[in-house]
Structure 1
């Protein structure tokens, strides 16, 4: 666990992506909200920063935003889109892992541009689309092709893909597929779960919000165990190295009015390492505290982080009732006067992040 600056030397905001080693963190430096301008490496051992590459957009394309980055053995890859228009268009960029000048590999349109995950091999960019299916394009450029036998598959981390994508809410995962060998690993899903997700070897799940118990097992159903007091954070449970991330319940009972009693000394989240069986808390469950973030890499990230100085505050203003309460049922009178309108929003922070680097965790199995 390390403290790193939340801004680059020139004041651009950092967005953590993933770890490259036990001390090196890959960060996106943003000139404005989600507008990446370059990739940097921050070394937690020395405190040094290195610019890895600029992240330019193609000339003449308005509203362009760099999307997910992924790290391969020899290259980094990312894709970009124009999310604020109706065009189905995307492009792909690569840069050597050692750094240098980024190069656009190619552009795609239509279904091929509905990118949900990206990766890179020694000779190709690979990606899956929201409707299922995995494509590849040579790093030298050329015509993209759909990889045979990938109908309904979604890239997890090359070469592995799953039959459940990020939009398949409530769908049970049944297999993992190695796209290099086309080896299929059947997934045995326990009954009674509302959330279930697999990494490369281990799977996690939980029941409804009242169950307050998570489960972990290998994909074939072996080494099944329960983790009381934890629940899945939506469907995005698995981090790098198949480490699971969970919500920790702070409710310890109810008072005489039936209101929940919370213990805010419990951690904000819990991390579980299935190899060693270690469970660790991270952050703090402060009712006025901020949330946590995870790195934005396409493959499961090896970074989680939070801003300890950020707080959540409620701010209220008086607004016109006819504006705040619209739309109104047909035939009902239009309300008049003003009413109090309240919203919660983050406040403070922005100076440094606390970062957990999963690649720095020793494993012994």
Structure 2
């Protein structure tokens, strides 16, 4: 490695420090887990996953004209050192705790292509994607009862695309996703839509202020997003047009419309909870979490083996440590139970269900649209979080 490349890498890491999570002692395990969750494809060697991540970082630093690969920011943060836990009983299987919300689906479509479930389109149809590397190949509607699939969109990515959005937004009768490519030395994000019933994709926006990617939603009849590596929430009409920054969003990151929060998790120790400062972008109302450390969603905050509401009330002792991820749907976390495998824990009710045995540790991302998906016995287990009451 040349001295010049080393210097450029150090500068890049310094610039990324405000966005990246603080490394933990089990970083290698987390890299492998995150890689496996994104692929949902069998067993992956931890060394290979580590090389893939380091390659993505190095690719960002390559000179102009060479291939650039963007890595999605991790939603997980280093846990605090836990206190000595008390013994917790092993929860019943998740199927017993929440009957009717768990289904199993194959790892592949009937045509043999590996599929990745995204979200439910209705009570029996899953939106699933097939992929070509880091790019969406096609979007499908998969019937969980008949185990049949219908192709919705043949996704066409522009030449030079290096990655597409990790999640597809759904709303107002549309599917929406983004692509990232390099053009004339500049990284460009483009937003695309297609009818949720199926059809041809349409380009609706080209963004030059989001050089790494975006978190995208459809809300209030508009496209809404936050750029990775930068701050603020932006929106535009579903048909395209001029993007505008939402008033009051400066310094904040989109959680779930209309909520945005700060500070973004970083690698510098702080007593303030990540996403502890909250703003309602419709009303301008602001609040700050009273809890120290950890990470918060709209209502709940998680810190090590404990959770509480933003005002400090409703304290719950969790049956194991978490990955310190933002609670999904503002209520669900996955914890590593001390006496069994991973457990899905509902902060709103205190109920929990065992997921195991699993092929790998499932990662619950707060940006996933209401699903927890993991591999078990050669199939994929799909937990419909939105159906849990």
Q: Structure 1 stretches of 5 or more lacking a match?
A: 207-213, 251-265, 310-350
Of residues 338, 342, 362 in structure 2, which corresponds to 1:292? 362
Residues 180, 213 of structure 2: 8 Å contact kept:
no
2:176 and 2:266 map into 1 onto residues whose CA distance is: 23
Of residues 288, 297, 300 in structure 2, which corresponds to 1:186? 288
Compared with structure 1, are the counterparts of its residues 19 and 239 closer, same or farther at alpha carbon in structure 2 (3 Å cutoff)? farther
Higher CA-based Rg:
1
Deviations along 1:153-193, whole A, 9 cap, x unmatched? 11111221111336566552322222222222322223xx4
Q: CA deviation at 1:238?
A: 1.6
Q: CA deviation at 1:302?
A: 1.9
Aligned match of 2:115: 14
1:84 and 1:240 map into 2 onto residues whose CA distance is: 36
Aligned match of 1:355: 382
Q: How does 1:84-99 map to 2 (within 5 A)?
A: 87-99=186-198
Compared with structure 1, are the counterparts of its residues 95 and 177 closer, same or farther at alpha carbon in structure 2 (3 Å cutoff)? farther
Aligned match of 1:278: 351
Residues 223, 237 of structure 2: 8 Å contact kept:
yes
Aligned match of 2:333: 244
Q: How does 1:201-216 map to 2 (within 5 A)?
A: 201-206=299-304, 214-216=305-307
Aligned match of 1:24: 125
Q: CA deviation at 1:76?
A: 2.6
Q: CA RMSD in A?
A: 2.7
Secondary structure class of the residue paired with 1:359: helix
Deviations along 1:252-308, whole A, 9 cap, x unmatched? xxxxxxxxxxxxxx12x11111222101111227xxx4333557xx83442222222
Secondary structure class of the residue paired with 2:242: coil
Q: CA deviation at 1:4?
A: 0.7
> More strand by proportion, 1 or 2?
1
1:85 and 1:278 map into 2 onto residues whose CA distance is: 53
Q: Relative contact order (alpha carbons < 8 A, sep ≥ 6): 1 or 2 greater?
A: 2
Residues 160, 182 of structure 2: 8 Å contact kept:
no
TM-score after normalising by structure 1? 0.69
Residues 273, 279 of structure 1: 8 Å contact kept:
yes
Which of structure 1's runs of 4+ aligned residues deviate more than 4 A? 83-86, 166-171
> More helix by proportion, 1 or 2?
2
Deviations along 1:307-359, whole A, 9 cap, x unmatched? 224xxxxxxxxxxxxxxxxxxxxxxxxxxxxxxxxxxxxxxxxx521222212
Secondary structure class of the residue paired with 1:90: strand
Q: Structure 2 stretches of 5 or more lacking a match?
A: 1-101
Secondary structure class of the residue paired with 1:118: strand
Deviations along 1:228-248, whole A, 9 cap, x unmatched? x41121x42422352122222
Compared with structure 1, are the counterparts of its residues 4 and 356 closer, same or farther at alpha carbon in structure 2 (3 Å cutoff)? same
Compared with structure 1, are the counterparts of its residues 147 and 237 closer, same or farther at alpha carbon in structure 2 (3 Å cutoff)? closer
Of residues 147, 151, 155 in structure 2, which corresponds to 1:47? 147
Q: How many residue pairs are counted as aligned between the two chains?
A: 283
Q: How does 1:212-231 map to 2 (within 5 A)?
A: 214-227=305-318, 229-231=319-321
Aligned match of 1:319: none
TM-score after normalising by structure 2? 0.65
Residues 176, 192 of structure 2: 8 Å contact kept:
yes
Q: How does 1:1-365 map to 2 (within 5 A)?
A: 1-30=102-131, 32-58=132-158, 61-68=159-166, 69-82=168-181, 87-109=186-208, 111-129=209-227, 130-165=229-264, 170=269, 172=273, 173-190=275-292, 193=293, 196-206=294-304, 214-227=305-318, 229-233=319-323, 235-240=324-329, 242-250=331-339, 266-267=340-341, 269-284=342-357, 289-294=359-364, 299-309=367-377, 351-361=378-388, 363=389
Aligned match of 2:83: none
